[in-house]
Structure 1
Amino acid sequence: MVQIPERRIPEQSARRDAERVRPVPTSADVARLAGVSRATVSYVLNNTTAVRISAPTRRRVQEAADALGYVPHAAARSLRAGHSRMVLMPAPSVPVGALYSHFFNELQWALRRLDYTVVQFGSLGMSGDDAARAWAELRPVAVLAPGDGTLTPRGVDVLKRSGARAVLTIGPERVDGAHALLMDQRAVGHCAGVHLLDRGRTGIGVVVPGEPGFETFSAPRLAGIRAAAEGTAARVVPLELRYEERSADRLAARWPELGLDAVFAYNDEYAMLLLRALQDAGVDVPGAVAVMGAGDLLLGRLLRPRLSSVRLDLPSGQVLAELVDRAVRDPAGTPEVHPLLGAEAVPRDST
């Protein structure tokens, strides 16, 4: 008979096993520890204002929840309320820049103050109805989708049938059935074009980012400049540029043969990249070529020459969060259109 030696479990493994089987704390556990009812726990942890609960009781419940590591179950709360408090925001498929990042951060903070939970959904590689179905699986109360063609009217219907009380798009296009928060990028290009034409420039290059996904912003900005130049002797030339030094150097080396005396470089980041490449190639800015960006970033003001830009005027996150909240409260309301984006030229030394 072969005797199998007893296997000893290391103390660390035993501790890990114990942690794995540790029961999930419940509201009943919190109620017992705090010496209150489960209803009181629910009122306190869900920030219910309809019932008055004393400050000491609130503190006792919160301390008990912290000690046990308990947090309310969002799905259970959704079942009781009949809908969730989740606002789903699909993550942008392209870098949105510092200005838009600040705007979306402010929006998320304002929604949180209105007791919504904001969830960013990575939709890279998804489009159309596939994206809408993936979003609907999470049963959000509202969806803030990019107005870039990703969402279709059928997708809006899928979301609403799955319980979304409000569907809103943010971008240059509206979608039937959804509220539209319109950012008309043509206004940005038109503003830049008018400024450069007023400076007497007659050959305007317009940077079109070479990276995929930027067409939603770059195409209408190009159209805006073309509209500003319509009826004048000026010509408008699209220029592909990737956000890398080698691409900027190649474009700067070709500049003398292009016969252009101005460039609207899509935004401040691309403008700063190209401005430095032009200077390295010996092109005089603004003598031989005026350079203009968009976004009015602080870094552009630190360059020499200081960068002219288009300042983008966006509403506060609080204003937009209140629009979302109104749409959630009135799910049967007629979809509305809200213009969001204003544009103003900020002349500096580079033009």
Structure 2
Amino acid sequence: MKAKSVTSHDVAKLAGVSRSTVSLVLNGSNAVSLSEETKERVREAARILGYRPNSAALMLRKGRTDTIGLVITETRSIRVDAYIPILHYAIADVLKEAGYSLLLETFERKKGVNPYTDLVFSHRIDGLMVLSPHVEDKDLHALLDSGFPVVQIGSIGHPEELSVTTCTSDSTTEAVRHIVDLGHRNIGSVPFSPSGFSATDSRLEELRQELLKSGIMLDADCIEFGDFSAESGYNATLRLMKRQPRLTAIFAGNDTIALGVIGALNSLGLSVPGDVSVVGYDDLPFSGFISPPLTTVKMNADHQGRLAADLMVKRLKGETIPQKRLVLPSQVVLRASTAKARMQASDL
């Protein structure tokens, strides 16, 4: 037998107040002055009964949903990328404090279908946050042109965008200099996703250009793309080392991929860093506690998420936003996964 749903009448009865009082308290109305004791009785009754106001009715009355959408553009990454939960928690925490709920949605691109239509044009959300937007996303460009509140974690270069990004170029320069100074010349890379993903492509290009300054070519034979998961990093490294067994250093696209890189090297009987040094990106919470602790480029997911959420709150409240594009610094964290390059027969 289906359980009876809880109504505002049930809350009013338990709290000993009228239904109109319940409505005023739970809808946050200040139309009538009520004592804090009365408000708390109503809230406590609602908590006990598990009652929540009808969100659709609230939206119709207030003209807003008090809900922000967060779109993850790469669905596969949700299951395996440890950066995303940190970012998600930070965003949700800031929005909750400001009175907003966060709706997490995945991105599904189909020919002829606008992936933002259901969320935005069905009036389910007041604003949209997009993680790792694609520069070629014409629908996102159009959404920004429309003036709908959007905050990006990443950038597509739209003149009116609100975005938070992390600059890795200086840290990549430092990380490459560190590896080169250790005597490494045979260097490979396992990016965190297939090519075509903007963050992957830009990070790989930064690495390629920095190595070139030291006279080291990072050609296609020294690159094997991962697919977001540690498992994909593992398999990519096996393929890479079969093709390039002389490599003494590998730049992993992120720390999750680096886990797979280290695991694959160990399975091949190679030690890290004795035989091959490994560098990651992100500095996730586990990075300093794996064996060996990982040298990585620190990117603060929590700070990035909080700044992005704060931008959204300011946008919705119509507050002045002095800087529309926030660019955060990164830094190299040196740990035990990098060491001097091993001597090879050709070096003797």
CA distance in 2, matches of 1:306, 1:264: 15
- Report matched runs for 1:196-235 at 5 Å: 196-209=179-192, 212=194, 215-235=197-217
**How far has the Cα of 1:105 moved from its partner?**
1.1
Amino acid at match of 2:94: A
1:251 aligns with 2:237: no
Amino acid at match of 2:324: E
CA distance in 2, matches of 1:303, 1:331: 44
Moved more, 238-247 or 271-280: 238-247
Q: 5+ residue gaps in structure 1?
A: 1-14
1:240 to 217, 224, 232: 224
Contact map agreement 1:30 1:41 (CA 8 A) in 2: yes
CA distance in 1, matches of 2:21, 2:195: 50
1:67-89: CA deviations, max 9, x gaps? 65532122222222222211011
CA distance in 2, matches of 1:53, 1:236: 69
CA distance in 2, matches of 1:264, 1:305: 15
CA distance in 2, matches of 1:194, 1:323: 35
CA distance in 1, matches of 2:32, 2:310: 24
Contact map agreement 2:190 2:237 (CA 8 A) in 1: no
TM-score in terms of structure 1 length = 0.78
1:307 aligns with 2:294: yes
1:174 to 139, 147, 157: 157
Amino acid at match of 1:206: S
CA distance in 2, matches of 1:39, 1:334: 42
1:296 maps to 283
1:144 maps to 129
CA distance in 2, matches of 1:91, 1:32: 43
Q: 5+ residue gaps in structure 2?
A: 339-348
1:328 to 287, 302, 316: 316
1:120 maps to 104
1:192 maps to 175
Contact map agreement 1:268 1:297 (CA 8 A) in 2: yes
CA distance in 1, matches of 2:155, 2:181: 27
Closer, same or farther: CA 213–239 of 1 in aligned 2, 3 Å: closer
1:183 to 148, 158, 166: 166
CA distance in 1, matches of 2:93, 2:294: 31
CA distance in 2, matches of 1:334, 1:139: 28
Structure number with greater CO (CA < 8 Å, separation at least 6) is 2
* SS of 1:222 mapped into structure 2: helix
Amino acid at match of 2:91: L
**How far has the Cα of 1:284 moved from its partner?**
5.0
- Report matched runs for 1:1-351 at 5 Å: 15-16=1-2, 19=3, 22=4, 25-27=6-8, 30-31=11-12, 34-48=15-29, 53-66=34-47, 69-93=50-74, 94-95=76-77, 97-126=81-110, 130-136=114-120, 137-146=122-131, 147-149=133-135, 150=137, 151-157=139-145, 160=147, 164=148, 166-184=149-167, 186=169, 189-209=172-192, 212=194, 215-237=197-219, 238-242=222-226, 243-244=231-232, 245-256=234-245, 259-314=246-301, 315=303, 317-330=305-318, 336-339=324-327, 341-351=328-338
Amino acid at match of 2:180: L
CA distance in 1, matches of 2:25, 2:304: 30
Contact map agreement 1:307 1:349 (CA 8 A) in 2: yes
Contact map agreement 1:186 1:220 (CA 8 A) in 2: no
1:11 maps to none
Closer, same or farther: CA 172–43 of 1 in aligned 2, 3 Å: same
1:265-294: CA deviations, max 9, x gaps? 112222232223224334454344322112
Q: How many residues align?
A: 323
Closer, same or farther: CA 299–148 of 1 in aligned 2, 3 Å: same
Closer, same or farther: CA 303–88 of 1 in aligned 2, 3 Å: closer
**Segments of 4+ in structure 1 off by > 6 A?**
331-335
**How far has the Cα of 1:253 moved from its partner?**
3.1
TM-score in terms of structure 2 length = 0.78
1:21-59: CA deviations, max 9, x gaps? x5x554355445544344432332134578653343123
Contact map agreement 1:190 1:221 (CA 8 A) in 2: no
**How far has the Cα of 1:325 moved from its partner?**
1.0
1:229-264: CA deviations, max 9, x gaps? 3432122245114434444333333332xx433210
Closer, same or farther: CA 31–186 of 1 in aligned 2, 3 Å: same
Alignment RMSD? 3.3
Amino acid at match of 1:251: L
Contact map agreement 1:111 1:117 (CA 8 A) in 2: yes
Contact map agreement 2:167 2:330 (CA 8 A) in 1: no
Structure with max Cα Rg: 1
Identity of aligned residues (%): 28
Moved more, 37-46 or 49-58: 49-58
Contact map agreement 2:164 2:307 (CA 8 A) in 1: no
* SS of 1:175 mapped into structure 2: coil
Amino acid at match of 1:327: R
